[in-house]
Each structure stands twice: as structure tokens, then as C-alpha cells.
Structure 1
């Protein structure tokens, strides 16, 4: 499948680099499991798209993974708008809470594995 690069605001490149250097603990935990083509596809961290940055993204299957921490509790409308705009480009989303990643990693990884299989077929 041909990778489709989604355009992004150039200023986000610097911010994405900072976010990669200052990852949250759940992001670090998940990254340890999905990096280096662990599921047969390559994920990237803190990927700029349009006017946003997603936590993890696989260009091959257009899958974004978001880990929602406390900052997302009051931003439901923003997250929905952002996700809707990116879905217009064919991006699919998986969302997990910080607690899911910290306390239910096995279940999180099963969901990711199933979604990767579904989108790879």
C-alpha cells in the first residue's frame, strides 16, 4: 500500500520534536511495544498532520493511536473536531486512556494487533 503523507503546518515539526523528547510515561510504555515494526507495520511518534500532532501514526495503513491523559478530559469537542478533520484523509483512530496503557497493556496491544490486521488486509 502506498504511503499517503498528510500535509501539515511546518511550525509543527519543531513542536513534534519537543514532544518526542518529553513523552509521557504511557507513551513511552506503548512505544516500547509498537516500535521497530512489531506488528509488521511501522509506527512513528508525534506525527504532524494538518494543524495537529497525533501520538503515534502508521502511514502504511493510516492508523493513528492516541493516548488520552488528563488534558483530554475537558477537550472532547476539540478532539472530535480534530479526529473528524483527519478522518477525511482516511485516517482511522484508536484511543486509549493513560490508565488503559498503564494498567491494561495486554488488552491495549490486542486491540492494536487486531486493528493492524484488519487494516492490512
Structure 2
């Protein structure tokens, strides 16, 4: 009887791969919804060394879509310097999971409208 070697993908790698595969539909869904609601956000906008999923220069609001991979400590820690730098530029970052977008996108829009109302850079009438 020959022994069989079964290669197992590390659990965290499986989760990250699943998250990446499912974040694309979430990103597309949010982009369509933003357009439908009349919001102008640039996609994959780069500020210095950091890229945001969506960014409004008028509002100084960035939207980041986090997959499940962001739940891991090492991924979360990598975001810390980014948070400090972006905050120093006066940019507000709204973070949502791909799951939130796919399950309750209207809540995302409500949160965005709320942030716009709070923003001193407000250019939209909400």
C-alpha cells in the first residue's frame, strides 16, 4: 500500500484567498451603489505610498473594504502606520467588510451620508 501525501494549505492562506476572491464583487457592488446615489469617488486612489479602494478628494473621505484577512493580527498591524499618516492629512477613513457590503449595502450608504454631514469638507447635499 503506497502512502499518499496530502498537501494542506495553511488555514490563514485559505481565508485570505477566499477573502480576495469575494472582495471583488463587494467592491463592484459598492462602486455601482455609489454611482447610483450620485457620489463621486475615485477607485484605487493612491495617496503617497497607500492605495484606497475609494477616495473623494472633495470630502477627504476614503473607503476601505476589508476582507476577512484584516482580522489577522499581522495584517491589522501593517495598517497601523497607514492610519497614522492618513489621519495626519485630515482624511477620514471608513472601513467596511466585504460581508457588510454584500449583506447590507444600505447601511454602508447611511454611514457614508452620516460622515458627510459631520465633515467640514462637505460638498454634497445629503
Normalising TM by the smaller chain, what interval?
A: 0.7 to 0.9
Report the CA distance between 1:80 and its aligned residue: 2.2
Matching residue of 2:84: 84
Provide the C-alpha distance between the structure 1 equivalents of 2:117 and 2:41, rounded to a whole number of angstroms: 14
> What is the count of residue pairs matched by the alignment?
97
Provide the C-alpha distance between the structure 1 equivalents of 2:80 and 2:31, rounded to a whole number of angstroms: 24
Aligned pair 1:66/2:59, yes or no? Answer: no
Paired residues of 1:37 and 1:43 also in contact (CA < 8 A):
no
Structure whose CA Rg is larger: 2
Aligned pair 1:49/2:47, yes or no? Answer: yes
Report the CA distance between 1:37 and its aligned residue: 7.0
TM-score under structure 2 normalisation?
A: 0.70
Q: Could you say what the CA RMSD is over the residues aligned between the two structures, in angstroms?
A: 1.8
Matching residue of 1:31: 31
Secondary structure, aligned partner of 2:46: strand
List alignment gaps of at least 5 residues for structure 1.
1-22
List alignment gaps of at least 5 residues for structure 2.
1-22
Matching residue of 2:7: none
Secondary structure, aligned partner of 2:90: coil
Ranges of 4+ aligned residues in structure 1 off by more than 6 Å = none
Secondary structure, aligned partner of 1:24: helix
